[in-house]
Amino acid sequence: MAFYNFFRRKNKNNNEEKNEEKIDETIQEEKSEINNDIKNEEIETVENNENKSEEFIIKDTEIIDNKENREEKVADSIILEDESNNDNLENLEENIKNEEEKIEAEIKKEIEEKVVEDIKENIENEEELESKKKHKFFSKVFKGLDKTRKNILDSVENVLKSFKSIDEELFEELEEVLIMADIGVDTSVKIINLVRDRVKKEKISEPSEVKNIITEEISKILTDNTTELEIKSPCVILMIGVNGVGKTTTIGKLAHKFKSDGKKVILAAADTFRAAAIDQLEVWGNRNNVDVIRHQENSDPGAVVFDAIKAAKARKADILICDTAGRLHNKKNLMDELKKITKIINSEYSEAQIEVFLALDATTGQNALQQAKIFKEVANLTGIVLTKLDGTAKGGVIIAIKNELDIPVRFIGIGEGIDDLQPFDAKEFAKALFASEKENK
């Protein structure tokens, strides 16, 4: 029994061992199966993942392709749209350009029309202003020449009325009348010779018609080769002449005129010999609000002119007007001094326009002509200022001066007012000299 039990226990143990082994084997098999299953699952998972990856790759590729296709289509669409927009933009720019050119042309045309209209209006205004100025000049000269006109024309008319036909005696009496009217011998002879030739050439027989020929020939002398005075900055005007002709007063009136024209003027008191001449010029300077360069009385006139030139340069004056002592034309030392002053001006102010004006008193008649002849010998006269023309019947001397000396008359004094020194207009003067009262209205 004990053996049986031992055997039984041993068998039991063996069975248990076998069972355990079997169990172990079973467990191992199950583990192996499980591992295989896991491995298979992993392989399947990997394969699935790979398949999925391939699917994803394919899908990604499809997406990328679709994206690229869409982008390409969008790009093509944008390019086409840009090209269309560019075409539209070019068309728009061209339309804008055409419209701008059209507007510009219209504006230009309007401006041109406006400019032309303004120019025409300005010309009309200038012509009207010039016409008013000429009429004003004519009226003043007509009034100022009243005595001279009557002296010439009344005498001519009286001679013509006493003749019923034209003969040599008529011409001789007309010549005498002109000489007595201060037209001068040489000029009177010239005028009558010209009248004689025209009467013969035009076969004029009525004495009354001779008057018109005389006035026409005198007008030709006054207007022949006349030029207007043109003052350029800087300019020096040297005023010369004998005592009593009105030089200082003329300078004051010239200063007023030039300043009214917008010029800067300086005066030089180089008449250092005449009593109160410097003070008189300063009165005119204060009246016109212009500077006066002066030295002490009896000082060197040349030094005054020299300092005045320095002042004119420093103060940028447009015009320097130099007064000088009244010079008797038969005094050689005074003439030499005049040459000295002229030399200083030429040396120190060579860039300036130099005008030498001779002041003549119209009331002196033929004596004024003689003064002009002598002054012309010692100075380069560029113009004449004929003063006191309104108070004399001897204004005919202006015809002789123009004919015999060919020195242009630049200004004429036809009144005592500051505006009564007028620029000389030969045509208007000739017209006023022979006009009737009716023509003056």
Check pLDDT > 60 for residue 378.
yes
The answer to whether 433 touches 149, Cβ cutoff 8 Å, is yes
Q: Is residue 409 located within the same domain as residue 287?
A: yes
Least confident of 138-142, 178-182, 398-402: 138-142
pLDDT at 323: 92
Q: What is the CATH number of the domain that holds 291?
A: 3.40.50.300
Residue 399 lies in a domain: yes
Q: Are the beta carbons of 267 and 285 closer than 8 angstroms? A: yes
User: Is there a single domain that holds both residue 403 and residue 325?
Assistant: yes
Name the more confident of 355 and 62.
355
**CA pseudo-torsion sign 299, 305, 309, 314:** positive
34-43, 298-307, 313-322: range with lowest mean pLDDT: 34-43
Model confidence band, residue 439 (pLDDT cutoffs 50, 70, 90) = low
Domain containing residue 109: 1-144
Mean pLDDT of 300-322: 95
Is 333 domain-assigned? yes
pLDDT of residue 358: 94
Q: Which of 104-118, 356-370, 390-404 has the lowest mean pLDDT?
A: 104-118
Structure-token match 């004006």, residue found: 357
End position of a domain, from candidates 84, 109, 144: 144
pLDDT-derived band at 123, boundaries 50, 70, 90: confident
pLDDT for the residue 181: 86
Residue 22 tokens read as 């079997």
Residue 135: inside a domain: yes
**Total number of domains constituting the chain:** 3
Residues whose CB falls within 8 Å of the CB of residue 287, separated by 6 or more in sequence, listed in order: 252, 256
Label residue 119 by pLDDT band (50, 70, 90): confident
My answer on whether 98 and 45 are in the same domain is: yes
Whether residues 168 and 62 fall in one domain: no
Q: What is the pLDDT of residue 3?
A: 45
Q: Are residues 250 and 188 in the same domain?
A: no
Residues contacting residue 432 through CB under 8 Å, at least 6 positions apart = 138, 141, 142, 145, 149, 440
Q: What is the pTM of this model?
A: 0.67
Same domain? 3 vs 106: yes
The CATH code of the domain that includes 171 is: 1.20.120.140
User: Residue 19 pLDDT more than 60?
Assistant: no
> Is residue 229 included in any domain, yes or no?
no
Do 420 and 271 sit in the same domain of this protein?
Answer: yes
Tell me the average pLDDT across 46-74: 59
**Same domain assignment for residues 182 and 258:** no
Sheet with 265-270, strands from edge to edge, namely: 291-293, 265-270, 319-324, 235-240, 353-361, 383-387, 409-413, 421-423
> Tens digits of per-residue pLDDT, 314-362?
999 999 999 988 766 556 777 788 888 989 999 999 999 999 999 999 8
The pLDDT value recorded for residue 189 is 94
Distance (Å, whole) CA 150 – CA 142: 11
**Cis bond before residue 207 (omega within 30° of 0):** no
- Which among 111, 144, 177 is the end of a domain? 144
Residue 315 identity (one-letter amino acid): R
For residue 314, which phi and psi values (nearest 5 degrees)? -65, -35
Q: Are 137 and 422 in contact (CB under 8 A)?
A: yes
Q: Between residues 429 and 179, which one has the greater pLDDT?
A: 179
In this structure, the answer to whether residues 124 and 54 fall within a common structural domain is: yes
Mean pLDDT across the chain: 80
Give the tens place of pLDDT for each residue, 197-244: 999 999 988 888 888 898 889 888 888 877 788 899 999 999 998 888
Q: Between residues 82 and 239, which one has the greater pLDDT? A: 239
Q: If you average pLDDT over residues 358-379, what whole number do you get? A: 87
Position 2 scores a pLDDT of: 47
Residues 198 and 278 in one domain: no
Catalogue the E-assigned strands of 18-126: none
Q: Out of 159-173, 307-321, 415-429, which region has the weakest mean confidence (pLDDT)?
A: 415-429
Asked if residue 230 belongs to a domain, the reply is no
Does residue 440 lie in a domain region?
no
147 vs 20: which has the higher pLDDT: 147
- One domain for residues 216 and 298: no
Residue the block writes with tokens 């720019």: 93
Give the torsion through C-alpha atoms of 252, 257, 258, 263, to 10 deg.
110
Tell me which of 67-76, 302-311, 319-328 is least confident. 67-76
Q: Does a structural domain hold residue 32?
A: yes
Residues 285 and 430 both lie in one domain: yes
Q: Which of 167, 189, 223 is the last residue of a domain?
A: 223
- Within-domain flag for 152: yes
